[in-house]
Amino acid sequence: MTINEVVTVADAVRVRLERSLLAGDYSAGARVKDSHVAQKLGVARPTARVAVQSLIADGFLERETGQSARVRRFSVQDVADIFRVRRLIEFEAVRSVCQGADTKPIRESLARFSEVRDDQDWETAAQADMGFHAAVVAAADSPRLSRLFQTISTEIRLLMALLRPRYPQVSTLHDEHTVLLNALIAGIPEEALQLWAAHLNDAEAFLSTRISEEPSRDH
């Protein structure tokens, strides 16, 4: 097997693992051993190691010296800090969009969201959710604001995996975002910000409660 082939297989393994993480298939703090990944996905251990290292580098996994990789763990304080930054970013984006920014990309992202069925995996719904919020930030037309959002995107995506029990039906999550989009189109900043705050507050409260009540378990 050539180096390029190893990289290609490792990339495919990384994608499989990332999807599993974002679908909530691994609990917070669960071990992700190279040997288990290799056995489960039928690849060589060095290939699995490359994939795991890639996920560590991007913040999906963490590894202490001499230990197996683990799924990122979040404290209640982490959640509060992440959502504090989200509000700073997204509230500014909402204000900008309400002042007349083009909402077409946001409407297109919601249209893609509407194609996600209730029987599809949670990762697909979470990706659609993230796509909507990223589109709102991008509509503010501020490269620095978009870069700031990108710096916390991995953490947001991992927290989305923990939101899975909050939305047994994907359509409920989609409907929430339809309300948010309509508020943006109406162009009244105060009303849009109030709805946005309620949306983020609900997610933060659910995550904080879940994290405080559920200890990490090995997968």
Query: Is the model's pTM score more than 0.75?
Result: yes
Q: Please identify, in words, the CATH class of the domain defined by 3-71.
A: mainly alpha
When pLDDT is cut at 50, 70 and 90, the band that residue 7 belongs to is low
Q: According to the model, what pLDDT value does residue 218 have? A: 44
pLDDT tens figures, 84-137: 999 999 999 999 999 998 999 999 999 999 999 888 888 899 999 999 999 999
More reliable by pLDDT, 59 or 176? 176
Asked whether 125 and 173 are in contact (CB, 8 A), the reply is yes
Query: CA 26 to CA 138: how far, in whole Å?
Result: 31
23 vs 20, 26, 65, 112, 181, CA distance in Å?
A: 5, 8, 27, 18, 25
Task: Please state the domain extents for the chain.
Answer: 3-71, 76-213
Query: pLDDT over 90 for what percent of the chain?
Result: 65
Q: Please identify, in words, the CATH class of the domain defined by 76-213.
A: mainly alpha
Q: According to the model, what pLDDT value does residue 215 have? A: 64
User: Please, what is the average pLDDT of the chain?
Assistant: 90
Choose the weakest-confidence range: 85-94, 112-121, 170-179, 195-204.
112-121
Nearest-CA neighbor of 177 among 107, 115, 121, 120?
107
